[in-house]
Amino acid sequence: MGRTTVTSLDDELAPIALGVVVERDRGSLPFALLHGEPLVACAALAMGEAGIHLLDLTTPWEAVREAGAPLVWHDALCPTTPSHFLAACVRRVVADGVVVAGVLPVTDTVKEIVDTPDGPVVGATYDRNGLRELASPLVLPAEVVAGLADWLPTDFREALHLLRGAHEVALVDAPTSARRVRALADLPGLEALTGP
């Protein structure tokens, strides 16, 4: 399949890609409402605006491999990841031939847990400056897709671990709006951050 281009929201040309909004194994949270829409619908809308052709996990893997296109693995729990960022990740994959993972800086305090004969104890505090939290998306070059036997795991950390073992991965800083929803209590803050 030759390379096709589509116009993204920011009027730059983005290579066409296939994509899936992953909502499996996340309970009912992907169907919670954000600005009146389910999280999964918000994520799908951004993918469409980025010019990414949406598939679902019932699509036969062989058809995905044969398409010869990059694959965007987007988490429904990162529903306000902007379409321009998704398109930029696809462009990076096409330009550099590497897997791209959207990440955010770690803002929580991270402590070391040390096992002792008396049980685990809290140890030193890690320097957050070098730490990143996985957000979304994961974008795979067509060559990587062609080498996979099946869909990626729906757990993004597991998927990234699998990819890092065999391929070069570029960690790309995502916008703050790409942060992950972990519980219903996260929704008011994300609504305030992203507006209607």
Which residue segments constitute the domains of the chain, with CATH numbers given? Answer: 5-194 (3.90.550.10)
Closest CA to 195 of 47, 80, 40: 80
Closest CA to 30 of 181, 188, 196: 181
pLDDT tens series, the chain, 196 aa: 333 333 333 334 445 899 999 999 999 999 999 999 999 999 999 999 999 999 999 999 999 999 999 999 999 999 999 999 999 999 999 999 999 999 998 666 556 777 888 888 777 666 656 666 889 999 999 999 999 999 999 999 999 999 998 999 999 999 999 999 999 999 999 999 887 6
pTM over 0.75: yes
Instruction: For residue 137, say if its preceding peptide bond is cis, omega within 30 degrees of 0.
Output: yes
Check: CB of residue 173 under 8 Å from CB of residue 104: yes
Check: CB of residue 40 under 8 Å from CB of residue 23: yes
